[in-house]
Structure 1
Amino acid sequence: MRSIAGLVSIVAAATVCLYLLSTHLPPGPKNAAPGGEDGVAQEYRLKFPSDLEELRELAEMLKFYKREHHGYVLLLFCSAYLYKQSFAIPGSSFLNMLAGAIFGPWEGLVLACLLTTSGSTFCFLLSSMFGKQYVAQLFPEKVALLQRKVEENRSSLFFFLLFLRFFPMTPNWFLNITCPVLNIPMPIFFFSVFIGLIPYNFICVRTGSMLSQISSLDDLFSRRTLAQLLAIALVALVPGALIKHYSKTHLKVDGMNSNGTSQAEFKQERRRR
């Protein structure tokens, strides 16, 4: 009971801090305002984007404030990203795209990699302190399967975790909360997240950067845009192909499918349907 109360207290405190940070926007630049007149911006309620249209609107508004309040926008973005990652809330792809739209492809990529790793580590620590017993109770079959695969790949544990990040047979948030139960050492967890999610972060950040620059179909089919799409495809395919080649000879991942359950469980679910 004490564990639940401690976790609820941390979530509540973080929620209040993020709310206060998002509702006390500094004055925008006086020479222009997005959608407003005479330098007064239209009232805009900050929220996590759930589709591309909301992403575009939020990116435009934050870029507007970033002109004179770069530090504030950076603090707000980092706080929102860490909030989602630390408490295992899905939706990091939109925040990665938002990073590319606001900060550009390279600063956005660095931010996304650092925040993904830091947030996942916070989630790991929270699970270790407050939720190990509950994770095992809520997901006994999935935890047992992962535990078995971790033991089978103990000699190549780092590359096994990299494989799971490149090919998400189980969601990233679930890996973050389960690794403490599996007794994964913190350094191995940290670097497997940092390296394993670079291609994913690159794709999302680059996509967000491109979306913020495209205003017509002509822009979409320009040589520069097509070259960027080719680069994104290569980053997505090459590391994955290398890890997959390595896994065939060094890792034991048979019996797992794309949602982290065993093939036997998957067949049972299909029969029930």
Structure 2
Amino acid sequence: MADFLQDYKREHQSYVTLLFCSAYLYKQAFAIPGSSFLNLLAGALFGPWTGLFLCCTLTSLGATSCYFLSQAFGKQILILYFPEKVSMMQNKIEENRSGLFFFLLFLRLFPMTPNWFLNLSSPILNVPVGQFFFSVLIGLLPYNFICVQTGSILSQIKSLDDMFSWGTLLKLLAIALVALIPGTIVKRFSHHKLEGKELIVNGRKSM
């Protein structure tokens, strides 16, 4: 199957790339699940690095399209069907307004709410589009990397020997290292939030 996809891509590279990008942007813009499948497919079709670049770029652009669509048409629908979730997210955003970018990264790395809902609700919650875009780009990088690398590895495995080759093991090690990034981001966010609380406490004490 992987060989067939590669052969088809070589013969129709522009068509395959255009079709993949269009499908990815459509899926993201209209908050349709399925990122993991498309990321795996990107790794198999385009390789680990081109696939990662495409997925990160398309994820960010598609999510931002979803942001603008929701800003134009989604407010009443979200408030009507998800009033409790919107209220909960509003409270969380306001609590972390001083460190909003790190909080958005935290939500992408360890989602307390689905990514599709975060994309739709962000304009309603007054999240700046710049912070939104880069939080998607950076926050979903580890997830995209893991999926794309996995797709690339699976497309190259043709026997059990391939599974235990040095190349495959090094790629798996890279995936494991990238999986540690979320913990580092969360630690940074927690430290930032703690500093903010200390400033508030000191400010009250000085009064």
Q: TM-score, normalised by structure 1?
A: 0.68
Q: Which residue in 1 is equivalent to 2:32?
A: 89
Q: 167, 176, 183: which one pairs with 1:241? A: 183
Listed one character per residue, the Cα deviations across residues 137-164 of structure 1 (whole Å, up to 9, x for unaligned) are 2111111111001001111111110111
Secondary structure at the aligned position of 2:62 is classed as helix
Amino acid at match of 1:84: K
Query: For the residues of structure 2 that align with 1:249 and 1:202, how far apart are their CA atoms?
Result: 26
Is 2:7 aligned against 1:64? yes
- 1 or 2 for the larger relative contact order (CA 8 Å, sep ≥6)? 2
- Kindly report which structure 2 residues correspond to 1:165-244, keeping only aligned pairs within 5 A, or say none: 165-237=108-180, 239-244=181-186
Q: 138, 146, 158: which one pairs with 2:81? A: 138
Deviant stretches of 4+, over 3 Å: 59-62
Amino acid at match of 1:250: H
- Work out whether residues 62 and 73 of structure 1, in 8 Å CA contact, stay in contact via their aligned partners in 2: no
Query: For the residues of structure 1 that align with 2:129 and 2:4, how far apart are their CA atoms?
Result: 38
Secondary structure at the aligned position of 1:90 is classed as coil
Query: For the residues of structure 1 that align with 2:132 and 2:139, how far apart are their CA atoms?
Result: 10
Amino acid at match of 1:242: T
Q: CA deviation at 1:68?
A: 2.4
Amino acid at match of 2:150: T
- Work out whether residues 136 and 181 of structure 1, in 8 Å CA contact, stay in contact via their aligned partners in 2: no
Is 2:21 aligned against 1:78? yes
Q: CA deviation at 1:62?
A: 3.7
Query: For the residues of structure 2 that align with 1:79 and 1:195, how far apart are their CA atoms?
Result: 22
Tell me the number of residue pairs that the alignment of Structure 1 and Structure 2 aligns.
194
- Work out whether residues 158 and 192 of structure 1, in 8 Å CA contact, stay in contact via their aligned partners in 2: yes
Amino acid at match of 1:248: S
Query: For the residues of structure 2 that align with 1:234 and 1:196, how far apart are their CA atoms?
Result: 15
Query: For the residues of structure 1 that align with 2:51 and 2:188, how far apart are their CA atoms?
Result: 30
Q: TM-score, normalised by structure 2?
A: 0.89
Larger radius of gyration: 1
Structure 1 unaligned regions, length at least 5:
1-56, 253-273
Amino acid at match of 1:251: K
Q: CA deviation at 1:193?
A: 0.6
Secondary structure at the aligned position of 1:202 is classed as helix
- Work out whether residues 87 and 123 of structure 1, in 8 Å CA contact, stay in contact via their aligned partners in 2: yes
Listed one character per residue, the Cα deviations across residues 229-271 of structure 1 (whole Å, up to 9, x for unaligned) are 111010111x21211212323338xxxxxxxxxxxxxxxxxxx
Query: For the residues of structure 1 that align with 2:71 and 2:21, how far apart are their CA atoms?
Result: 23
Query: For the residues of structure 1 that align with 2:91 and 2:10, how far apart are their CA atoms?
Result: 52
The root-mean-square deviation of aligned C-alpha atoms, in Å, is 1.4
Amino acid at match of 1:123: C
Secondary structure at the aligned position of 1:215 is classed as coil
